Amino acid sequence: MTDNSQIVKNGGFWNPGKSHTDLINESKLTMFQRRQINDVIKDGQILSLRCNPHSSKYNQDIVLKKSKIEKNNYIPKLRKKQDIIDGGLYEREKYIPRCNKIPLDENEKKRYINLLVYGKNVKKKNIEAQIKFKKRLLNEKLKSMENFDNDFRFNELNKEINERENFLQEMKMMGKEMKYKNQINFEISQRLREMELLDKKIKQ
């Protein structure tokens, strides 16, 4: 009986052929890195994402520094007021006017004051005359108000006298005139005296 199976060189199910390209050899790795990868594969461990080309010592300082930066980027932190002031955030830019203003002398200041008070530029003599005129108007106004008050009081006194005379007539009709006569006459005489003084003051 002849065997129909054929021997396949470097192939078959039980004898698979090796890959023509060796990834480890093709990669740009140092001898230490290749040896470290082979040891990990033999032990069945997981390959590390980092591999130092000369030493297996883990560079912890760099990783800690990076993690610290990431932490500061994602976690907000309140700052002290003094730190903010030292950072220059409270400093304001100095105001610089666009045009250089000429300082005003005394005459210009007086001119602006006259424009604000009188609405026009007036001389010193005119200012004194206007002040006297305004004082005279004010005195006349006060005097007219005083005369108005005097006239009002004069009429009020006249009204009070008439009221007391009418009251005395009513008491006379009721037979009680003698009870109130002296008191009413005294009050009427007081008001007449005040009316005389007001009349003299108004005539002045």
Convert the pLDDT of each residue in 85-102 to its tens digit. Answer: 887 777 777 777 676 666
What's the whole-number average pLDDT of the chain?
70
Q: Where are the alpha helices (DSSP H) in 89-173?
A: 106-118, 124-173
Whether the Cβ atoms of residue 170 and residue 132 lie closer than 8 Å to each other:
no
Measured distance CA(26)–CA(182) in Å, rounded: 144
One domain for residues 43 and 81? yes
One domain for residues 112 and 188? yes
One domain for residues 125 and 59? no
Q: Which two three-digit tokens encode residue 68?
A: 């610290």
Judged against a pLDDT cut of 80, whether residue 71 lies above it is answered with: no
Question: What is the tally of structural domains in the chain?
Answer: 2
One domain for residues 188 and 159? yes
The answer to whether residue 16 sits within a structural domain is no
Residue 172 belongs to domain spanning: 106-203
Judged against a pLDDT cut of 80, whether residue 1 lies above it is answered with: no
- pLDDT tens-digit readout, 100-130: 666 777 778 877 877 777 677 766 656 566 6
Whether this model's pTM surpasses 0.85: no
Q: What is the reported pLDDT for 84?
A: 82
